[in-house]
Structure 1
């Protein structure tokens, strides 16, 4: 799912009546023969995914190129979508094109409810696909989805505070980042409410950047099987740096909560925080408290040991349900939406395009988006396994590991071992 936004979908049990929501009759695409007469292509995209101006233009062009075809476009809500998709994909009245979260894709692929598009991938601009999402669109060596778009975190900071503290340029590595923190504390530390960096104890997305920067990972893969690897020396080194950052930053964020509890953008909006690790659109949330923050906020990639660290890329994929009655049209739709023309429009809207390596429109839109675009070139994802759905739906053991280690409740060896155990159970359950 769209993990970056915290719009949880896994734990909501909602029974949805789907009669009348899917494509028209006929068996187009399954035998290669398109039926005669009017046809209807049902497309489900998620709320907030595609600007209306983009979809209006896209659907007008698609219908013009396919006389007699009508695109039935339905915007879905993230809340409850897991159950709605599960029901729809198991029915004989499935939509024809769906957007699914990148962490959902392996689960649905394993269940056999998505169409294998391996032979068609080249036509979906595959040579330009975003590397951070490619793994999630693949299962057992076959292609079941197409990257749609993504976003990743950057360090958002107060340019005026940096200038006042004598920080001439944004940090480019860990050492410079820690030095900037010390300068900010020296300038503003007399204010007991000041925080050089607001960093919640359970911001596991940020932790992943440090683990990957050290050469570690959440898990190692052997075919479709995954084994947790949070106890590796590299992963432990990333965890140690997270703790160092928490301790040296003077953050007052809770160690037992994530970036949404309380909402970190609101804390930044209070004017007492110089930096936080977040997504570009969190600036707008902060600016609700202080409109000046829109102009006073800059951004830089999360620093690694010797340059930008790898970043977690949350995002969405597009797929064709195996039960789609218009698979031939669905493939044509994916070809159009994955083209450079429409992917550039996603970049202009402030998102990282999934099927285009051209992020020039994103880089030129504003400094915050430019930093995200720069960081996106080294994007990664969580293990591409159906077992990750269990992690999303329950209490993430990486969060528990962070809290236990930061509070001293567990040693680093015990905290990582316990997290590995929970992850391996989830992976085995898949």
Structure 2
């Protein structure tokens, strides 16, 4: 998933001094100096590996193994083709960061090492299930969940206070009531353009339905499913509180920049979007607050799209054991916790969410992770999201007056065509 990780306003400083993680066993190559003279190459994506975390990890890895760590930061532009090529070569990078929704496709081509037997050793028994799902293909573990981010309600404290709202909503009905109170005060309650596809995907996750389904041996559109219609009707209700265009997405214009003008009560956004709003209008900073997107009941938040990254070992790497030593260290509680503190990302274990304390945006995002999900985890899916995304066309059609069934029928042929493309 392409994203720029910008620490949210108020991120707590990373804990001082990362504790040592032990020197491992003395037999084989697991002890200190066991891999002396070797170099492990790791590819991180731009913005994913914060400076102090990387420095501490490198020092501990080299101390523990005796090997050198070569960290190479890659750019998002063109990474899929670059990674595909690299994994097919005789000397690929040993460890790679991969977008969580892209992992199954790379696993299906044979580019990633099977980590099924390694999962327990890496701490996998405690990984959050929803985070680990994209790292598994046909029952086998091909990567390890590293972190995720998800949307929260970013709101204007002054507008909510002026509307007489004293407590943040914990259910969807209460949320709608509050949006109504803001509208009664003459403000735009919510900025939600008609094509915020990832917000809709979260509602689909909550309904337990995918936008595609298997028909024999092929994948086809599932937009005609009644549960998809339910999710879209819910989206339409949210959108009724917004003046945003029905035929644009959240980046056209940037929703955070609209929010920065101070006339909108809230929007559904990522933590880093607050920084975008503040850049556009520094005065808005003191008014920004966050809360978890409410679900039907107070005990379960709304479904959300989980975008994030996994760490995997290249199947062609000749340093499988050294790569596993790296994963054990990078995924340890010490370094997962440190990553969360420095970057505000959600760690792969629920027990580590305490490291998010003091980061209001991350604290708001964390409760929804367990009930979150992703887009369909199939190689064919990427073609569906290529511009112009037919699901966005479907959304605009429903918001413009067509029934969900009519809108689904109008884009079904295009979706099926894209799903049939050879990958």
Tell me the TM-score normalised to structure 2 length.
0.87
Instruction: Give the aligned partner of residue 18 of structure 1.
Output: none
**Does the CA contact (< 8 Å) of 1:210 and 1:304 recur in 2?**
no
| 2:203 match | 210
Cα displacement (A) at 1:86: 1.3
Match of 2:77 in 1: 79
Q: What SS class does the counterpart of residue 122 from structure 1 fall into?
A: coil
- Give 1:35 deviation, angstroms: 9.9
| Kept after mapping to 2: 8 A contact 1:59/1:71 | yes
Aligned to 2:18: none
Give 2:114's match in structure 1, choosing from 113, 116, 120. 116
CA contact (8 A) 2:119 2:125 kept: no
Q: Tell me, which stretches of 5 or more residues in structure 1 are unaligned?
A: 6-28
Aligned to 1:185: 183
Write out aligned runs for 1:20-419 (5 A).
Answer: 38-67=37-66, 69-187=67-185, 189=186, 194-220=187-213, 228-247=221-240, 249=241, 251-307=242-298, 308-348=301-341, 349-355=343-349, 357-362=351-356, 364-408=357-401, 410-419=402-411
8 Å contact from structure 1 (residues 405, 415) kept in 2: yes
Q: CA deviation at 1:169?
A: 1.2
Q: Answer whether contact 1:99 1:317 (CA < 8 A) is retained.
A: yes
Contact 1:201–1:403, Cα closer than 8 Å, also in 2: yes
2-side partners of 1:224 and 1:153: how far apart? 34
Q: Root-mean-square deviation (CA), in Å?
A: 2.4
Change (3 A) 1:420 1:365: farther
- Number of residues of Structure 1 aligned to a counterpart in Structure 2: 393
1:68-94 deviation line (CA, Å, top 9, x unaligned): x11111111111111111111111121
Structure 2 gaps of 5+ residues are 6-27
CA distance in 2, matches of 1:152, 1:389: 20
Note the C-alpha offset of 1:222. 9.3
> Does the CA-based 8 Å contact 1:228-1:424 persist in structure 2?
yes
Q: Give the match's secondary structure for 1:104.
A: helix
* Deviation (angstroms), 1:123: 1.5
| TM-aligned CA distance change 1:37 to 1:70, over 3 Å | closer
Q: How much does 1:271 deviate?
A: 1.1
Q: With structure 1 as the length reference, what TM-score do the two structures score? A: 0.85
Conserved 8 A contact 1:46-1:78: yes
Shift of 1:216: 3.2
User: Does the Cα contact within 8 Å between 1:268 and 1:276 map onto a contact in 2?
Assistant: yes
Would the alpha carbon gap of residues 220 and 132 (structure 1) be closer, same or farther in structure 2, given more than 3 Å must change?
Answer: farther
Distance 1:223 1:96 in 2: 37
The answer to which of 217-226 and 364-373 deviates more is 217-226
The farther-off stretch of 329-338 and 302-311 is: 302-311
